[in-house]
Amino acid sequence: MAMALRRAGRRLNFLRLLTTSASGSDLSPSEKKPMNLFSAINNALHIALDTDPRAYVFGEDVSFGGVFRCTSGLVDTFGKERVFNTPLCEQGIVGFGIGLAAMGNRAIAEIQFADYIYPAFDQIVNEAAKFRYRSGNQFNCGGLTIRCPYGAVGHGGHYHSQSPEAFFCHVPGLKVVLPRGPEQAKGLLLACIRDPNPIVFFEPKWLYRLAVEEVPHEDYMLPLSQAEVIREGDDITLVGWGAQISVMEQACLDAEKDGVSCELIDLRTLIPWDKETVEASVRKTGRLLVSHEAPLTGGFGAEVCASIVERCFLRLEAPVTRVCGLDTPFPLVFEPFYMPTKNKILDAIKATVNY
């Protein structure tokens, strides 16, 4: 009964999202097309299935497009044998994906919301992550990619708004990737699908329809475990990932009006993360601020701060700063108070620079 209720609630709360669908394009490979984030994900999945006959997409409701429409049209093009629904069982979805990948296939599993990845935690942590190690590299499930919509959505409450990325960053054998927008999402997802390691790919559902960019129509991949310096600056280094990057960019623009030069870095991959890029930036600026939606305690921002303090202690001109979600369940009515907003980040920038 409890399982049925949570599934029903999930669909009712997000029924209004079942609108636009993504479709293919007749653009030439060199052209770019305006895409929002869910369309870029759809385009990446289409390419992955088209270029590799061993690739399969499966999960709850994916055959009709899923609640966010990211898999729309795929079953019409590639058939029910390669794009198919699964039972409402996250443990079963990931367990099936492990077996499929272990046989040399590309298993692209969708967890409908990252909040419901926890029933599959044992399969991800104790099976997928350890598969290669326990066999001495004689066999692996490196073709497994687990897609998860994560983070705030504006009305999700504590069952549809969580950011659980830090749980998986503690596990050797996994990679954890979070794109910030459509162009990044397509290139990073294709890189994940083709990477020889099991990967958890978190998609910022807040941006599925809000973020629109010119995305190359061609097949391309972006490097994993390589951070990107989005803005260069001299006074403070800001580090984030996923949906939080757009919030931090707005704070950087406002800080510049007050004469503060901010360097903004998108980690993109959390495990293994690009320490060298962040270290080089902090050695230049002498200050570090990390921001993410997940709760403060035990969030991946703590790992970034600890590592940089170890590497750059004598170059720091102020304590490292974290602007994160609160150590509470994700609230519905009080979401604006929970979120690490532009103004919270801006206040932290000023306090750190003026320390």
Catalytic (active-site) positions: 90, 160
Residue 228, beta-bridge partner list: 266
DSSP letters along 73-123, please?
THHHHH-TTTEEE--S-HHHHHHHHHHHHHTT-EEEEE-SSGGG-GGGHHI
Question: Which contiguous run of DSSP H or E holds residue 207?
Answer: none
Assigned token pair, 46: 């289409």
Question: Which contiguous run of DSSP H or E holds residue 17?
Answer: none
CA distance 224 to 246: 20
Backbone angles phi, psi at 236, to 5 degrees: -160, 145
Helix, strand, coil percentages in the chain from 3-state DSSP, rounded to 5 = 40, 20, 40
Residues in CB range of 81: below 8 A, 6 or more apart: none
CA distance 247 to 311: 27
CA distance 124 to 104: 18
Backbone angles phi, psi at 113, to 5 degrees: -140, 140
